[in-house]
Amino acid sequence: MSDAYGDRGNKDRSITKESKASMQPGPQHGEAHPAPGGPFLIGDTMTGGYGSGPDILHECTIAVDEGEIAVIVGPNGAGKSTAMKALFGMLDVRAGHVRLAGQDITELTPQDRVKQGMGFVPQTQNIFTSMTVEENLEMGAFIRTDDIRPTMEQVYDLFPILKEKRYQAAGELSGGQRQQVAVGRALMTRPKVLMLDEPTAGVSPIVMDELFDRIIEVARTGLPVLMVEQNARQALEIADKGYVLVQGRNAHTGTGKELLADPEVRQSFLGG
């Protein structure tokens, strides 16, 4: 009762509309500085947590280079999604740096990072359900002022099913198709790096394989892809680089094959 902005009476949907907004941008609101060298995108020894809460990441390093697929795996609660959110500026990064294409972007807001070329696909609610597939793609390209047709054609080439369903509301599509819309939307900004937060969450194994194929195709165009995955084995199979996080720390790092072959990784995360 004492909380003036509390939740009392807030569940009545005939008076208020619930907001599913969950993204809390970090406190950053600065500028980018030149910082040449190093991988294309790197979160360098990042330490930080949400708001004024405790540190979740501890000197965690995640990097991805051009044409590569980097995968973050690890047990539940290891801070996989948190590491990605740190790269995207939705965390209070108290130590360490984030660099993208020779720029130190540690102090940028998430929106400014989108403008710098980061494409981010959230794990859930990653499409505009009430809008058509084509409108979803258009909204993805909102910050662009040039002709978006060619990019849209590229997305349709990559995901032919979307072209078929371009005038259908995205919310009516199946889980796998929705994920394609979500990835397509992120590609519309013509990002320099694509970040996917569990793209295969909640889709069937067949659809998952197809999605992975598409992600490989995207990476082959030279676009670096960084993703968080629950299905560690499949993800590491397609990964050029793998990061195993445990409790917010880098536990193992290596190529996908190395990690798959590592007995310790196999035993603890891949079920033998």
Partner 1 sequence: MIDVLNAIVAFLNFVFIPAAAYGSQLALGALGVTLIYGILRFSNFAHGDTMSFGTMVVILFTWAFQSWGISLGPLPVALLALPLGIVITALMVLASDKVVYSYYRRVKAKPIVLVMASIGVMFVLNGVVRLIIGPSDQRFADGERFIINAREFKEWSGLAEGLALKTTQGITVVTAAIVVAILFWFLNRTRTGKSMRAYSDNEDLALLSGINPERVVMITWIIVAALATIAGTLYGLDKVFKPFTYFQLLLPIFAAAIVGGLGSPLGAIAGGFVIAFSEVMVTYAWKKVVTYLVPENLEPSGLLQLLSTDYKFAVSFAILVIVLLFRPTGLFRGKSV
201 touches partner 1 (CB under 8 A):
no
Two tokens, residue 115: 């403008």
Measure the CA–CA gap between 161 and 158, rounded to whole angstroms: 9
Two tokens, residue 172: 């009516």
How far lies 128's CA from each of 96, 138, 143, 207, in Å? 34, 11, 17, 21
130 touches partner 1 (CB under 8 A):
yes
Cβ contact 10:16 at 8 Å: yes
| Shortest Cβ 225–partner 1 spacing (Å) | 17
Cβ contact 188:155 at 8 Å: yes
Q: Which stretch binds partner 1 (CB under 8 A): 71-79, 124-132, 219-227, 242-250?
A: 124-132
Count interface residues toward partner 1 (CB under 8 A). 40
149 touches partner 1 (CB under 8 A):
no
Two tokens, residue 128: 């505009």
111 touches partner 1 (CB under 8 A):
yes
- The only residue of 47, 65, 66, 131 in contact with partner 1, by rule CB under 8 A: 131
Two tokens, residue 141: 């390209």
Q: Which stretch binds partner 1 (CB under 8 A): 8-16, 63-71, 98-106, 151-159?
A: 8-16
| Binding-site ranges for partner 1 (CB under 8 A) | 4-10, 12-23, 110-111, 114-115, 120, 122, 125-131, 135, 138-140, 142-143, 185, 189
